[in-house]
Each structure stands twice: as C-alpha cells, then as structure tokens.
Structure 1
C-alpha cells in the first residue's frame, strides 16, 4: 500500500492569510509554482491560493492587490488527505473534486502537498492518465 506521505512533496510552503495578495503573488513567482496553501497564524490550513485566483478575483475585477489579503481569497474548506491515507484515496479525491493539488495533513497540520506531477511520478501511466482525465472533465 502506497501512502500519501510516500508520494507527497514534503515541506511545502504557505502564504499567510494575513499576507497581501502582492506578497502572495511574489511568493508564487519566487517558488515558480501555480498554487500555495494559505495558512493562518496558528499554522493551520485555511485554503488554497492559485495564480488564477489572483488574476480572476483581483486583477480582472480591478481590486487593490496591496489592500487585499491572501485569506480574502480562501473560499470554503480545501480538499485534504491524511498523510497515512492510501494513494487510492488521493486519486479518488482528486477525481471527485476535480482538483490538481491536495494538501496532506497530519494531526490537522500541513505536512506536504500532492500535485498531478507527484501522481505521474508515482503511478503507472494508465492510472495517472485516468486521474488527469477525471480532473480535467467539465
């Protein structure tokens, strides 16, 4: 049984819910990633922030990215998985919720993240292709 912990990218970084959207965008650019978890001051996961969120919810609506906080863009509870969950659970969650990234939690604390690329590296071509197809359905 392969677990989420075995395929996750560990030590993922967060943007703070109190960071400005500009600070969050800089962090995305510096790390060369398209999404980051949003964590509160208590180190708990509050949501996910994507570069698309910034474009659609801030730039396109002509909102002030210096005045908005990353936490303002956190909508609902993110889909998460426990670090000891079987990889089949990760695949099911990604497919059902059509998400490309799943934060990995241990004792309700963020310990890593699983992205489509992690799935592709860890699984056979057919399995990873099925997940990508399910995530991409409209």
Structure 2
C-alpha cells in the first residue's frame, strides 16, 4: 500500500471537504501538546514528554489532512498520507521521524508484544522529539498560511 488511492480503497483515509476551522483547531491541539511535552521534560517524565511530542506531530499532520479534505482512520495512514502527498514539500525528517515516534509511542504505551516490556525513553530521545515537534509545527504553520 503506497499511494493515496490504496489508502482510500482500504478505508484508511476518507475523502471529505477541506476544513480550515478543524485545521486551525488541530494547530491549537498541537501547540498544547508541545507545551505538555516541554513541561513533562522539565519534570523529567521523559515517556510522557515523548508521547506528547508525538501527539503534537500527529495533530500537525492532521492539519494537512483537514486542509486537503481528508480524515484519517489510524495513525499509520497519516504517515503514509504525508509520504505520498508531502514528500516534496516537507523536510523528509518530519515524515520519517513521525513514523519512528509512532512506533516508539506504541511500545511505550503498550509494551513490546515479543518482549512484554515497556520501552524506556531516555532524556536525549525526549529532547530530540521536542525539537522535532517544534520544527514540524512551524513548518505546518507556514504551509497553511500559503
């Protein structure tokens, strides 16, 4: 599955009307989650910091979906959509790292099914995730202003 038509036919994305009010609300949600990530980092709660950074990035991606007139049916579909539609527009690190953080988030929240152990997040990972989320948020804000 590697193109927009596949995502639509499998029901992972649904076509809708472009919705800038929803996009702007997702920007606010992203900003809130970035703030949470920073506060959790300062409190040395690195797992929560990373999860909030990922959530910020996820909502940034949703901004683009809403702007383009789509709704997602899962986190993985959002990553695939960005790769399909924005790989020539956004810095590749945002698209790639969104998917990496998605998998880390899953292991932190649910544990690794093979090892049945929750993944520990290090301070450097949480810090990097915050910086990545900040950059992605700024890039998305620029895109929706065009």
TM-score by length of 2: 0.25
| Structure in which a larger fraction of residues adopt helix | 2
